[in-house]
Amino acid sequence: MDIAAFLLDSVPFARLLGITFDSVGPGTAVARMADRADLRNHVGGPHAGALFTLAETASGAAMLSAFGDQLTRAVPLATGAAIRYLKLATGEVTAAATLRAAQEEVVARLDAGERPEFEVGVEIRNAEGVVVTEMTVSWTLRLNRAT
């Protein structure tokens, strides 16, 4: 599955913001958002909501890269997020997301009929490589209900 294409097809808002992917690997993803005047806030950086969406989108791709093979039996859902804006982000920004759980343990919990919860950590960096935002997204895999 082309996770980047799947995610951008499934989440039109990410496309609206112009989010693209540099890479998606096992439990990881790197997403990018260009510097656009229509996305800037009152202090000249990307709006907080745009940064949140970039980070959440990268976390979703990292999650799907680990658990995309489970989509026939479970729905992934973000259950929470914590974000810290550390510095004014200017210019193009890049979000690197990493799964913070053992894939095998999450799938084993799903196999046991449980609803596993896990986190994906994200760092957003500016063009100079400085971390400007940190985010943790909590995810769950909800088993499909029998019809």
* Per-residue H/E/C for 84-111: EECCCCCCCEEEEEEECCCHHHHHHHHH
The amino acid that residue 80 corresponds to is G
- Two structure tokens written together for 109: 């919990």
Percentage above 90 pLDDT, the chain: 93
Q: What is the DSSP letter of 46?
A: B
pTM of the full structure: 0.95
How do residues 59-75 score in pLDDT, each as one tens digit? 999 999 999 999 999 99
Q: Check residue 147 and give its pLDDT.
A: 52
Q: Name 104's Cβ contacts closer than 8 Å, sequence gap at least 6.
A: none
Q: How far apart are CA 46 and CA 32, in angstroms?
A: 12
- E-state strands within the chain: 20-25, 28-33, 74-85, 93-99, 117-125, 131-143
How do residues 75-89 score in pLDDT, each as one tens digit? 999 999 999 999 999
How many CA within 13 A on the CB side of residue 18? 11
User: What number of residues does the chain have?
Assistant: 147
Mean pLDDT, the chain, whole residue set = 95
Q: Name 100's Cβ contacts closer than 8 Å, sequence gap at least 6.
A: 118, 119, 120, 121, 136
Is the alpha carbon torsion for 137, 4, 31, 47 positive or negative?
negative
| Domains of the chain, each with CATH number or no CATH | 3-143 (3.10.129.10)
